[in-house]
Chains A and B, each alone.
Chain A
Amino acid sequence: MPAFLLYLVHTLFPPDTRQPTELGADFMILVTGIGIVFILTRYQKWRWLWREWLTTVDHKRIAIMYLIAAIAMLFRGGVDALMLRTNLALPNVRPIGALEYNEVFTTHGTIMIFFMAMPFIFALFNAVIPLQIGSRDVAFPRLNAMSYWLFAFGAILFNISFVIGGSPNAGWTGYPPLTEVAFNPGPGESYYFLSLLIAGIGTTITGINFLVTIIRMRAPGMTLMRMPMFVWSVLTTSALIIFAFPPLTVALALSLLDRTFGSSFFTLGHGGMPMMYVNLFWLFGHPEVYIVILPAFGIFSEVVPTFSKKRLFGYTTMVISLVSIMFLAYGTWVHHFFTMGAGPTVNAFFGLSTMLIAIPTGVKIFNWIFTMWGGRIRITVAMLYQMAFIPTFVVGGATGIMLSVVPADYQLHNSYWVVAHFHNVLIGGTVFGLLSGLYYWWPKMFGFILNERQGKVAFWLFVIGFWVTFLPQYLLGLEGMTRRMYTYPFGFGWHELNLISTLGAFIMGAGFLALVYNIVWSLRYGERDLTGDPWNGRTLEWSLPSPAPEYNFARIPVVHGVDEFWAMKESGDTLANHLRPQDVKTLELPKNTGMPFMLGLSFFVGGFGMTFLWWPIAIFGGLGVVACLLYAAFDYNDKKHLPADVIRHTERSWGRLQA
């Protein structure tokens, strides 16, 4: 028995993970875990948690769970970033060693992309899309919950790697053969492949779900060309997900087969070909960066008209540009490996296709500017993020164009120029967009408004910190500093700029803390949103109370044009004014179910077993998955009825029902 325990401890906590930072993290997690369990037990909230949240199929609640996960992951990824920057502050001074640094930049990149940006956009999809298209729910509510739990357990599997067994350490791109067992014998890379596979299934399902929702569930009268622009962006994003995630799944699965079952795809010998992984990864990876930017574009297309009090400029060209970005996004992936010798014809072709994306993107930028032109701009926090986005993203896009100039990329590839470029678009585009959407839709999601003054403080810290961090990194790129170095020697002239950059990162960190303070403060003291329409909005979600009731619309609206709610308000004819008691019918709603949670848990158990090659556990998890699927197949009792009286009562309490 002691021998077994020793084995267990040695496998789960191998010597090289017993370092101060990791022990600290272990301790933190333990304390937080005990704290949560204690609070839930103390206030007898277990049942509440299970019945109201863990089993929910309501898209609005799923949105909130996505949001919590995303903010937690922003924190985790941000702490990683601060560790990276601290290590690089001075030459040859390294608070964390190479081993940990490699783990930290890997988890930073992976978490920020897959477990921060993705759930964040899904939070907004879930919170907004059904309301904007005038629908009671998404097309497949249960699949929606399944997506969430697959994502959540994928994220948990990825995060426990830091405390159990050791994190992946081959970059967020996970290029072989570095990820093969010969070079990476620990469990880290298995964690990486398995957690991304699990979360990836969830993401693919989300893509299908929202695509079908938008295709089939729009309110009558909402033709394609009357959809709010955010809906268009989600439609194109979902299509991107559907076509982009399968190659990732294949790339990850093949790597896993190599690691676990000895196949020879990406090995050094045996005719293995690592470049195929690179090809498949970027077949996914490039569309992925548009997956995270298009929703941000959609958000800005809602925020700008609202706060400029003016219709969106160039609706048709906005749609054309979204759709062409969607198509072009599939045709550019080779720009991530121009330097893999595919030859001048291939490189020239993909260089040009990459440049082409600038055209539709530019159209959007100019359309936003001209939406503001002739408007009346109210500078709220949501609008401020948009106003920071335009200059920031244009610089990031411009430096991207310089990378697409093939010979220039020969020099700039994998240098800090690239690091600066992608933070410029990821933070300046995606994160600013998501934060803008967060402030904009927060009242709709939670029923109160985030304090604007505090929000502005967080905003300025974040934006100034951003430029101080990443502007110097362009110059570091020109100085020839390559990425993923855990430290650097003195004498290359890299130290001043690195120090400035580190300083900026801490300013950003302060901005994040201000943001969290803003949320926590507003939870208690924030102004309630009683009208349901705090910003004088233009689209249907603002026609509902905040937060929207479980059934969203007591009666499905009929749509006559773009900005339907704005038109209603202009004609003095809002929905609330003419909902008569006899319009309200008994509704059929999806019933809560524990299956999605159990499914996610089973995947988690199976994934954990496979990571450590503990086959009984892996098989147990697999059986759990089968059991969940069987349960789902034979479960016909998935609907509940919401009586018309209850709905009338709710609507009346909001003052939305005619007497």
Chain B
Amino acid sequence: MSTPAVSEPRQPIPVEFADEEESIKITGFWMFLVTDMIIFASLFAVYAVYRSRTALGPTPQQLFHLGPTVLETLLLLTSSFTIGIAVWAMRSNRPRLVLGWLIATMALGAGFVITEISDFVAYTSHGATWHVSGFLSGFYVLVGTHGAHVTFGIMWAITLLLQLRRRGLTPITRRKLFTFSLYWHFLDIVWIFIFTFVYLSGKIA
């Protein structure tokens, strides 16, 4: 690779940025997160506008139970912590630790998805399907899109796990792990806003 045009930092940079080409990919991934953020912003806008359009279905206040939601929040926050530790372990060059924390992250993520699905099943079994009202459509699609992202993340983590086991920590796998961690933290941020803006504020009269 040629000498880069951006001004270079004076002091050593974190290991995942050391390779020019891989660091460009990290920049690219940030840009992807930006587009994803606008996707979620659009869905939030839809939800915000549709919140009162409950037609003949339930209102947010009637629908939501905070219990499962708090559990989901705990699971996701913890998984955000574990993947953070995995990156820390990568930076201190301890591949075995990386694997362990990655597996923990996946397990927590799976717990989150299962809780969310069972929550959705509970709602729909009371007849609150998305056909019923604009509000429910907005709700399921916003929260469901996030859930789908988490599910995708778990599958991504599986492929990552296989690569890490085969190849250890190389510039490429380090970059892949780091971008995965960005993705995962990003989902955590989105969830916090869902928790706040959908569930908690749904309980405010």
**Complex formed: what's the CA distance from A251 to B5 in Å?**
38
**B49 contacts the other chain (CB 8 A):** yes
What 0/1 readout, one digit per residue, does chain B (17-36) give for beta carbons within 8 Å of chain A? 00000001101100110111
B46 touches A140 (CB 8 A): no
A243-258 residues with Cβ-Cβ distance < 8 A to B are 243, 245-247, 249-251, 254, 257
The number of residue pairs between A and B whose CB atoms lie closer than 8 Å in the complex comes to: 130
Cβ of A220: which chain B residues have Cβ within 8 Å of it? Answer: 2-5
**B190 contacts the other chain (CB 8 A):** no
**Which of chain A's residues has its CB closest to B172's CB?**
A636
**Which of chain B's residues has its CB closest to A223's CB?**
B5
A215 touches B6 (CB 8 A): yes
B46 touches A139 (CB 8 A): no
Query: Interface size bucket, B side?
Result: 35 or more
What 0/1 readout, one digit per residue, does chain A (256-283) give for beta carbons within 8 Å of chain B? 0100011111000111110010011001
Cβ of A276: which chain B residues have Cβ within 8 Å of it? Answer: 46, 49-50
B5 touches A217 (CB 8 A): yes
B33-52 residues with Cβ-Cβ distance < 8 A to A are 34-36, 38-39, 41-43, 45-46, 49-50
**B159 contacts the other chain (CB 8 A):** yes
**B53 contacts the other chain (CB 8 A):** yes
User: Of the 9-residue stretches B65-73, B78-86, B119-127, B129-137, which lies at the interface with chain A?
Assistant: B129-137
Cβ of A634: which chain B residues have Cβ within 8 Å of it? Answer: 159, 162-163
**A211 contacts the other chain (CB 8 A):** yes
B46 touches A283 (CB 8 A): no
A250 touches B28 (CB 8 A): no
A633 touches B159 (CB 8 A): yes
B34 touches A270 (CB 8 A): no
Secondary structure class of chain A's binding surface, majority of residues:
helix
Cβ of B6: which chain A residues have Cβ within 8 Å of it? Answer: 215-216
Q: A136-B2, A270-B134, A556-B2 are in contact. Are A212 and B141 (CB under 8 A)?
A: no
**A126 contacts the other chain (CB 8 A):** no
Secondary structure class of chain B's binding surface, majority of residues:
helix
B46 touches A254 (CB 8 A): yes
**B147 contacts the other chain (CB 8 A):** no
A242 touches B131 (CB 8 A): no
Q: How many residues of chain A get a CB closer than 8 Å to chain B's CBs?
A: 49
Cβ of A246: which chain B residues have Cβ within 8 Å of it? Answer: 35-36, 38-39, 41-42
Cβ of A273: which chain B residues have Cβ within 8 Å of it? Answer: 49-50, 53, 134
Interface residues in chain B, defined as those with a beta carbon under 8 Å from any beta carbon in chain A: 2-6, 24-25, 27-28, 31-32, 34-36, 38-39, 41-43, 45-46, 49-50, 53-55, 57, 130-138, 140-141, 159, 162-163, 167, 172
9 smallest beta-carbon distances between A and B, as pairs: A271-B53, A271-B134, A246-B38, A218-B5, A271-B55, A250-B42, A263-B137, A246-B39, A208-B31
